[in-house]
Amino acid sequence: DMQDPHEIVVIGAGPAGAIAAALLQRRGHQVTIFERQRFPRFSIGESLLAHCLEFVEEAGMMDAVRAAGFQQKNGAAFAWGDRYSAFDFREKFSPGPGMTFQVLRSRFDQVLADEAARQGVRIHYEHEVVAADFDGPRPWLQVRDLKAGADAAPRRVDTRFVLDASGYGRVLARLLDLERPTSLPPRRAIFTHIEDHIDAADFDRQKILISVHPEHEDVWFWTIPFSNGRCSLGVVGAEEKIQPADGDLMGALRRWVEGTPNLRRILARAAWDTPANTIGGYSASVRSLHGQGWALLGNAAEFLDPVFSSGVTIAMHSAKLAAECLHRQLGGETVDWEAAFATPLMRGVQCFRTYVQGWYDGSFRDVVFYEQAQPQIRAMISSILAGYAWDEANPFVAEHERRLRMLAEVCRGGFRDRPLSDKAM
């Protein structure tokens, strides 16, 4: 449409931006993405949940994702001392896919962005959104072409609606002063990629492995195998524990692994060939997810914690809900974004938050490692671990706080003499 060359502008071409853009383009809208970086680019967040593939499918990108040859993933495994507990997503309570992938995000995000472009979305790489104005009848942005040199003036872009999918860039949260402190304490991760050479028979490449440090119970590791003989490896803990005083990230990561016998054994032959990196203070929140002419997607709004790999799934779920609302609004309907976008999105986010908090206070960790849980209850937990945190038919979603509290009591022996059945909950 020549009248409306930038009907919808999306900031950022990560998973949230690419999915939202494609869903809207497929419904006949004209979508432009401005992406600050050149792709492929590194991103953290390599283990996907099964639920997010529903959005990949709906955006018409499933064949391309399948063809990319990513490592298949069917669940999550947890290890702590000699305790081991694996959840298979295919044995879950909720409907939907039970398989997903572990991905190099540089490649995955490129596949999604290319698929969005193939469907007509215009993506301008190396274009940074630097200012936004929502006070007039129509929103407009200032966009800087990073290839044009430092003294080139930013260009004005008029649009009907802005979806902010800028992730850790948090563009509108900063420009519109929406930041709100998160309820989660500051934590830090140190991570790298290794040539893993894992030959341990008990290591399942189709699952993320979450290992807990034997003494520091709040310190945990992710091991995410890729399809090319490499792994993503990271350690997470309280900021003051994880940040090395001497700045030697690789040394610190290796020491944490050395202190965790099961992980040390699995990684005994690994080649540590890539410098470690670190990210901290990543949990974030905002006062509002939407306003006149804008909405926030994915990490640009809320980020909890990496422990259950929920980031990309929340990002895509938000993209789907926002695309739905925006399509209706641009078609002339009056849309209540609080009721149709923010509230349903946050229901799933709050559910994840309960289990994240339960991981760190120990209650959900006890549940994860409890060996006598009934299959039906494990299936309900598996559903949440697979990303189905919006399925209100699952009692562990619908009443997440109460159900977790009760189940944790059972696992800790509070009902020692009663069978762990759903009725006892």
Which residues are at the interface with ligand FAD (CB under 6 A)? 11-17, 34-37, 43-48, 128-129, 165-169, 171, 189, 234, 279, 282, 298-300, 303, 306, 309, 311-313, 315
The least CB distance from residue 96 to ligand FAD, in Å, is 16
Of 227 and 405, which has the nearer Cβ to ligand FAD? 227
The least CB distance from residue 21 to ligand FAD, in Å, is 11
The least CB distance from residue 354 to ligand FAD, in Å, is 18
Tokens linked to 345: 């999105």
Is residue 18 a contact partner of residue 116, using CB atoms and an 8 Å limit?
yes
Spatial separation of the C-alpha atoms in residues 112 and 105, rounded to whole Å: 10
The least CB distance from residue 93 to ligand FAD, in Å, is 21
Buried b (16+ CB within 10 A) or exposed e, 177-200: ebeeebebeebbbbbbbbebebee
- Sequence-distant (≥ 6) Cβ neighbours of residue 135 within 8 angstroms: none
Q: Single out the residue of 71, 47, 75 nearest to residue 382, CA to CA.
A: 75
Of 282 and 370, which has the nearer Cβ to ligand FAD? 282
Neighbour count for residue 265 (Cβ, 10 Å):
12
The least CB distance from residue 116 to ligand FAD, in Å, is 12
Of 307 and 373, which has the nearer Cβ to ligand FAD? 307
Spatial separation of the C-alpha atoms in residues 23 and 327, rounded to whole Å: 9
Neighbour count for residue 176 (Cβ, 10 Å):
17
Query: Would you tell me the crossing angle of helices 15-26 and 105-118 to the nearest 10 degrees?
Result: 20
Is residue 9 a contact partner of residue 293, using CB atoms and an 8 Å limit?
no
Of 14 and 139, which has the nearer Cβ to ligand FAD? 14
Q: Which amino acid is at 238?
A: A
Spatial separation of the C-alpha atoms in residues 395 and 403, rounded to whole Å: 7
Spatial separation of the C-alpha atoms in residues 58 and 7, rounded to whole Å: 22
Of 132 and 425, which has the nearer Cβ to ligand FAD? 132
The least CB distance from residue 425 to ligand FAD, in Å, is 29
The least CB distance from residue 422 to ligand FAD, in Å, is 30
Tokens linked to 11: 């900031």
Tokens linked to 364: 């959900």
Of 71 and 166, which has the nearer Cβ to ligand FAD? 166
Of 44 and 340, which has the nearer Cβ to ligand FAD? 44
Q: Which amino acid is at 338?
A: E
Q: How far is CA 299 from the centre of its chain?
A: 8
Of 351 and 410, which has the nearer Cβ to ligand FAD? 351
Of 105 and 400, which has the nearer Cβ to ligand FAD? 105
Neighbouring-strand partners of residue 102: 47, 71
Of 46 and 391, which has the nearer Cβ to ligand FAD? 46
The least CB distance from residue 43 to ligand FAD, in Å, is 5
The least CB distance from residue 97 to ligand FAD, in Å, is 15
The least CB distance from residue 334 to ligand FAD, in Å, is 28
Helix residue spans in 268-374 (DSSP H): 311-330, 337, 343-361, 363-369
